[in-house]
Amino acid sequence: MKKTAILILLALTSYMVNAQTKIIAHRGFSGIAPENSLSAFEKAIEIGAEYFELDIHKTKDDSLVVIHDAAVDRTASENAKGKIAEMTYKELSAVNIGNPSKFGDQFKDEKIITLREALALAKGKIKVCIEIKVYGAEEEVIRTINELGVNDEVIIFSFYYPVLAKIRSLDKNIPILYLISAADATTFDYANVIHANAIGVGSKTNITKEFLAEAHQAGLEVWRWTVDEEEQMKELIGLGIDGLISNFPDKAMKIKKEM
């Protein structure tokens, strides 16, 4: 009887650890649709991901647009080129991002969208990770979130510590996540200074149960980007990672359910 109780306790503990892992669609469901596109976000909603992640830059006329790079060159179709900061929103809205070399004509009319459009799509359906890629966008990001009333449906990311410090000065409660490729105990201290809710780490961080325990002791969640290999998904979910960011969130969701 005692042995049975211990086995049940272990099973429940394992379930609770795995169940805490949030699955985040990286730049939307970018494994099957153009990154940071309306279609990629819609597909993340369709599969029931808990979050989709997006990146924002600021245009010449101060619009906040959803795109990863500082220029359109990599993601634009038809050989369009140009730096986001040197283009107006009107100019950017004419750029196609359907990625025909990867997806054919399936997304040929896909356009660059604004942060407001992405958040309006997500409202009430899925939470959003907003990665701020530039300085000077903080006030407009918070204004947009407030106007749409999605304060409880977002978390703000950045590699730029001063950006997150500014966000925290503007909003004492909004969730924030400090992105850093290689994290250690010092990272926890920096994150706590700005009252971050989590850190997001890359492949240079050795994630162990001890590392996660130390982060949790410091009041921080640990999210890992960008994980597409199934074996690594299993390992991280098994360890109890708090957030797993993937271009293929469907795989991660399936593995989480099976585990």
Q: Which residues are the active-site residues?
A: 26, 68
DSSP string computed for 210-258: HHHHHHHHTT-EEEE-----HHHHHHHHHHT-SEEEES-HHHHHHHHHH
CA contacts within 13 A on the Cβ side of 227: 29
Cα–Cα distance between 252 and 245 in angstroms, integer?
9
Give me the phi and psi of 180, to 5 degrees please.
-155, 135
Cα–Cα distance between 39 and 111 in angstroms, integer?
10
CB count within 10 Å of CB 34 equals 23
| Helix, strand and coil percent figures for the chain, each rounded to 5 | 40, 20, 40
Pairing verdict, β 154-158 and 127-132: parallel
Q: Residue 95 carries which side chain, given as an amino acid letter? A: V
Contact present, 118 and 41 (Cβ < 8 Å): yes
What's the token pair of residue 104?
């054919």
Burial class of residue 144 (count of CB atoms within 10 Å of its CB; 0-12, 13-18, 19+): buried
What's the token pair of residue 21?
């892992």
